Amino acid sequence: MSPRVVQALGQIYERFDGGGPFGLQRDAIELGARLLHVASAIEIQHRHGGRVRAEEEVRRRAGHQLDPRIAEPFLASPGSFWALLEPISVWDTYLELEPGTVLRLEPEGREELAHAFANFADLKIPSKVGHSPAVAELAERAGRIFGLRADDVSTLRLAALLHDVGVVGVPNGIWEKRGPLNPAEWERVRLHAYFTQRVLARVPSLGRVADLASLHHERCDGSGYPRGSVSPESDRAGRLLAVADVFCALVEPRPYRGALSVTDAAEVLRKEAHAGRLCAASVDCVLAAVGRGKRPAAQRGVTEREAEVLVALARGLTNKEIGVALGISAKTVQHHLAHIYEKLRVSTRAGAALFAVRHNLVPMP
């Protein structure tokens, strides 16, 4: 820092009238410090008491704590300062700053955009890479088995892709915690479904999708979250989404447990249905849909074993952990990774993970 900045930082508690800790007064106080005194007083008083209090306090302190010459421009025209202290919403600011021509999304482009948001949300938590597209595929197949109308199936698929957008509002330290969550952390987790609804509600054309996406943790008996509402029997799409989300989460690894087998996951779903928390008919449809999807197509010559290594890598496992999971040595894992990087033309783990997500290489069970 320059000498004047350093000097001003040492004078932040001085007063214009000399009542500060070092007794400096008037122009003996660095100009930067005197400017800071006025700006700080305006911001603090405005935050705690609004416009009137900010103006009254600056006027009262001018000549005492504050340099009256610096306070005068504010007191002469306080209205010109409020825009700095009362900014418009982040949403409106973001839209105004969009470069170039504003792009308008046609209805047929909604799924492509939903995929982008789904991958963005999943990449925040390595163990959930591929989760949202997997839920969407499973929920869509289950919806067709159940006999939902085509437009309801389309809405269900969009909601499934977007259901976890709200996870970005919860710190990674909570999502990746290996032990049990404490009450405060659990409350943060419960909010992610609410965040999803609030984010999607910004887009009027996604009204039904927003409501449906926020229901994925609600339960038939009212034991879910965030609202703790009873999932209505008439909302088949919401019940199917809840079951599909639970199944996919069970067969995926998490920091606090390994992935369950399809058989064990199915048993959990049946127990939840028997307890009245999940819809039994929806459980039947989801389990009937498991295994009906196509395996991800090979990309750029990646072998099946390399794809397994790639998925494990995308989920945040170390080379040693990948080797243990796949029953191969860490040296063999490194050999596979070298080939993967070369084939995909990437040089980092993040680049490889992004490729796996973008090309849907994370398989359904």
> pLDDT of 335-351, one tens digit each?
998 888 888 888 887 78
Per-residue model confidence (pLDDT) at position 293: 58
> pLDDT of 165-178, one tens digit each?
999 999 988 988 88
Chain centroid offset of residue 172 CA: 9
Amino acid (1-letter code) at residue 320: K
Q: What domains are defined for the chain?
A: 3-85 (1.10.3210.10), 109-289 (1.10.3210.10), 304-358 (1.10.10.10)
Residue 295 pLDDT > 60:
no
CA angle, 146 as apex, 140 and 148 as ends, to 5°?
70
> pLDDT of 186-242, one tens digit each?
999 999 999 999 999 888 888 889 999 998 999 999 999 888 888 777 789 999 999
Kindly give the interhelix angle for 131-146 and 236-250, rounded to the nearest 10 degrees.
140
More confident residue, 244 or 80: 244
pTM, full prediction: 0.69
> pLDDT of 52-61, one tens digit each?
999 999 999 9
Cα 88 to Cα 83, 85, 94, 162, 198: the distances in Å are 8, 10, 10, 27, 18
Mean pLDDT of 40-50: 91
| Unique residue bearing structure tokens 């919401």 | 238
102 falls in which pLDDT band (50, 70, 90)? confident
Per-residue model confidence (pLDDT) at position 344: 85
| Partners of residue 62 on adjacent β-strands | 66
The C-alpha atoms of residue 235 and residue 243 are separated, in whole angstroms, by 13
pLDDT more than 90, % of the chain: 53
Per-residue model confidence (pLDDT) at position 82: 87
Residue 296 pLDDT > 60:
no
Per-residue model confidence (pLDDT) at position 307: 84
Among candidates 136, 182, 138, 184, which has minimal Cα distance to 161? Answer: 136
48 falls in which pLDDT band (50, 70, 90)? confident
Per-residue model confidence (pLDDT) at position 348: 83
Mean pLDDT of 146-151: 93
Residue 91 pLDDT > 90:
no
